[in-house]
Amino acid sequence: MSKKQILFGLAFGAVVLCLPPFLKNYGVYMFTTWLIYVIATMGLNLTVGYAGQKSLGHAAFFGIGAYTVAILMKAGFSWWLGLPAAIALCFVLGVVLGFPALRVQTIYLAFATLGFNTAVWLVMRNEEWLTGGTFGLNGIARPEIFGYSLKDGLPYYYFVLAIAAIAMGLMWGLLRSPWGKAFQALRDNPIRAESLGIDTRNYTLLSFAIGAAYAGIAGVLFASLVDFIEPAPFAVGASIMMYLMVVVGGSGYFLGPLIGALVGMVVPDWIRDVFPILSNWYLPLFGGTVVLMMIWLPDGLMSLPDRIRAKRESKLASAKRADAKSEMAAVMGEQK
Amino acid sequence: MTAPILKVNGLKKAYGAIQAVGGVSFEVMPGEIFGVIGPNGSGKTTLFNSMLGQITPDEGSIELNGKDVSKCGPLELNRRGVGRTFQTLQVFGKMTVRDNLIVAAQEHKGTMLSRMFAPSDSGLGDRADALIKRFRIEHVAHLKAGTLSYGQQKLVDIAMAFMSEPDLVLLDEPCAGVNPSLVGGISTLLKDLNQNPHSGKKSSFVVIEHNMDFVMDLCHRIMVMVEGQVMAVGTPAEIRANKQVLDAYLGA
């Protein structure tokens, strides 16, 4: 790691640790929401950005996580049982959703996962006996940790921050291990990967399952944050938004989700707050920005430093070429 | 008498009414470089794809080190020691050259679970660096493979096939699209890898190639295929002198 990166990291750590106590309740709420979406999109970044599996069903897992903890707590179980149950259920369903990916790819896979999301959403909406239908489920309490209540906004924020940090650390370790390379090989060229002994079947299924498990964690934290869940935040539109966050942040960049979730979740609210006049214009602005970005920065915001570096290098190279050319011309001139 | 590393017996494959390969048999000995030549449509690629587990032959058997592998897929064959290169470029474009080499052999070490906790380079860093040096691509080792020139990517592609120290390497037109000045370099490299692989054991190659000078220079034995049949097998000198082959293919 370079000095610059360490400084950035320290500054970032200081902001997420020290800023929230100075914010109003709503600010803390937004910070917490941001971290929850960071966890969810980190999982999607593994599936889409690293393993190259175009999934448009991520919000379904987010919802399955939220409903799992809500339903279990309604039945009298502890939050601390709800969390692992949600992770396990999402992991298993992630494997199941991975199977279509073994047969279809790219846009066809996107449609298949979209269908899955719709089916899950319909269950949430129609199976009232289980999910409360459009009325939703309420009274999802926040957990206690070692007897310490996380009911207030700020303690819950730090709890989510700790979980996000652990989730990021685990993801970093996974991507650094040989698995990370295998996922990228699968993304870049599955046929070649298989000819090199990489079990593309297992890695495809696992990229879905691990991504889904991350969405499950985020869903559990989300349910406890908002205290009331209904099907709307887990519809197809939410999946598309999450995909957009991954792409805007930088698909296949480890820190992409941090920026993507910020742009997708926090900035709209902040703009509404600071420039109320713009609030009606946010969506068209956001949409327009995405279109422009896809043209000029298709690899997302995190690719910006790479871009600048590449530009500088090519400038240096062409300057060198120009020097060589003029030297050459000088030599040729002398020879005449 | 040593046993052949690869034994193909009466291999047949038809696509509808077209008999692409009509009963081909041959053996490749350990350490041998075996060339397969023939005009377009002579069945070379079908033969190759059968040996690589991409397609299942209609009839006949393929034995690797005395074991039948006719039903094995590409993954299984690779795990059993068969490496390959592709006719078209097949590198992992967004990974660095060095990572391309490491990922090419990492799955041969440990189990899936143990690889989750293995070091980032799977302990293959030294082997990758040695191959990078041997292929003289040190100056681009840290770059993303997709940004290299065609010839450099071809070298990476070939190097990847050797990372797992395979017993048998199938090379599909290693010179296709390569600058003529690099062809000699590839030939030298392949001879070098065949004579003295880094592991100390000999690798056998099967090479499909249209560049005659390259094939005649590199291969120990050559098989000529015409219309799905074997027309002749022999040393480069024998093939050059074969009247039938001259008429049918070499045309000189």
* Secondary structure of B216-237 as H, E, C letters: HHHCCEEEEEECCEEEEEECHH
Nearest to B249 by CA among B39, B53, B84, B109: B39
How high is the pLDDT of residue B252? 47
Most confident of A213-217, A311-315, B46-50, B238-242: A213-217
Nearest to B168 by CA among B205, B131, B223, B219: B205
Query: Scanning the structure block, which residue is given the tokens 């002398």?
Result: A334
B97 CB within 8 Å of a chain A CB: no
Q: Give yes or no for a contact between A182 and A52, defined as CB atoms under 8 angstroms apart.
A: no
Contacting residues for B205 by C-beta, under 8 A, at least 6 apart: B32, B33, B34, B168, B169, B170, B171, B190, B194
How high is the pLDDT of residue A37? 97
Pairwise CB contact (< 8 Å): B75 & A252: no
Is the pLDDT at B213 greater than 80? The verdict is: yes
- Higher per-residue pLDDT: B49 or A273: B49
Distance CA A118, CA B49 (A): 41
Nearest-CA residue of chain A relative to B147? A310
Q: pLDDT exceeding 70 applies to what percent of chain A?
A: 98
Q: Give yes or no for a contact between B99 and A185, defined as CB atoms under 8 angstroms apart.
A: no
Amino acid symbol at B218: L
Rounded to a whole number of angstroms, the distance from the CA of B236 to the nearest CA of chain A is 30
A198 CB within 8 Å of a chain B CB: yes
- Phi, psi torsion values for B87, nearest 5 degrees: -65, -40
How high is the pLDDT of residue A335? 58
CA A10 to each of CA A5, A22, A253: distance values in angstroms, whole numbers, following the listed order: 9, 19, 19
Q: For residue A105, what are its two tokens?
A: 């790819």
Query: Scanning the structure block, which residue is given the tokens 């279109």?
Result: A291
**Coil vs helix vs strand at A189:** coil
pLDDT digits (tens, 9 = 90+) for A129-185: 988 888 888 888 888 888 888 888 899 999 999 999 999 999 999 999 999 999 999
Least confident interval from A111-120, A229-238, A278-287, B163-172: A278-287
- Phi, psi torsion values for B198, nearest 5 degrees: -60, -25
Q: Is the Cα torsion angle A225, A231, A232, A237 positive or negative in sign?
A: positive
Q: pLDDT exceeding 90 applies to what percent of chain A?
A: 60
Distance CA B36, CA B214 (A): 12
Amino acid symbol at A189: N
Helices (H), chain A: 3-18, 25-44, 58-74, 79-103, 106-126, 128-131, 153-176, 178-188, 190-195, 200-226, 236-249, 256-261, 267-274, 282-296, 304-335
CA B220 to each of CA B191, B214, B216, B240: distance values in angstroms, whole numbers, following the listed order: 10, 12, 8, 13
A22-299 CATH fold: ABC transporter involved in vitamin B12 uptake, BtuC (1.10.3470)
CA A285 to each of CA A210, A257, A292, B68: distance values in angstroms, whole numbers, following the listed order: 33, 20, 11, 63
Q: For residue B3, what are its two tokens?
A: 């046993």
Pairwise CB contact (< 8 Å): A195 & B108: no
- Higher per-residue pLDDT: A56 or A320: A56
Contacting residues for B148 by C-beta, under 8 A, at least 6 apart: B97, B140, B156
Q: Give yes or no for a contact between A37 and A89, defined as CB atoms under 8 angstroms apart.
A: no
Pairwise CB contact (< 8 Å): B91 & A187: no
Question: What's the pLDDT band for B196 if we cut at 50, 70, 90?
Answer: low
Q: Give yes or no for a contact between A53 and A207, defined as CB atoms under 8 angstroms apart.
A: yes
pLDDT digits (tens, 9 = 90+) for B10-24: 999 998 888 889 889
Nearest-CA residue of chain B relative to A182? B103
Half-sphere exposure in the Cβ direction for B2 (13 Å, CA): 10
Distance CA A236, CA A321 (A): 52
B1-81+166-252 CATH fold: Rossmann fold (3.40.50)
Q: For residue A185, what are its two tokens?
A: 């090989």
How high is the pLDDT of residue A203? 95
B78 CB within 8 Å of a chain A CB: yes
Distance CA A276, CA A270 (A): 9
Pairwise CB contact (< 8 Å): A194 & B92: no
Q: Which of residues 284-303 of A touch B (CB under 8 A)?
A: none
A188 CB within 8 Å of a chain B CB: yes
- Phi, psi torsion values for A105, nearest 5 degrees: -135, 180
Distance CA A183, CA A166 (A): 21
Q: Is the pTM of this model over 0.95?
A: no
How high is the pLDDT of residue B200? 58
Least confident interval from A316-320, B128-132, B219-223: A316-320
Buried b (16+ CB within 10 A) or exposed e, A302-326: bbeeeeeeeeeeeeeeeeeeeeeee
> What are the chain B neighbours of A187 within 8 Å (beta carbons)?
94
How high is the pLDDT of residue B39? 85
B104 CB within 8 Å of a chain A CB: yes
Distance CA A26, CA A273 (A): 11
ipTM of the complex: 0.89
Mean pLDDT of chain A, nearest integer: 90
Rounded to a whole number of angstroms, the distance from the CA of A1 to the nearest CA of chain B is 16
Question: What's the pLDDT band for B198 if we cut at 50, 70, 90?
Answer: low
Contacting residues for B58 by C-beta, under 8 A, at least 6 apart: B12, B13, B14
Q: Give yes or no for a contact between B71 and B22, defined as CB atoms under 8 angstroms apart.
A: no
Helices (H), A25-78: 25-44, 58-74
pLDDT digits (tens, 9 = 90+) for A249-298: 999 999 999 999 998 888 888 887 788 887 778 778 878 888 888 888 88
Is the pLDDT at B251 greater than 50? The verdict is: yes
Question: What's the pLDDT band for B184 if we cut at 50, 70, 90?
Answer: confident
pLDDT digits (tens, 9 = 90+) for A217-226: 999 999 999 9
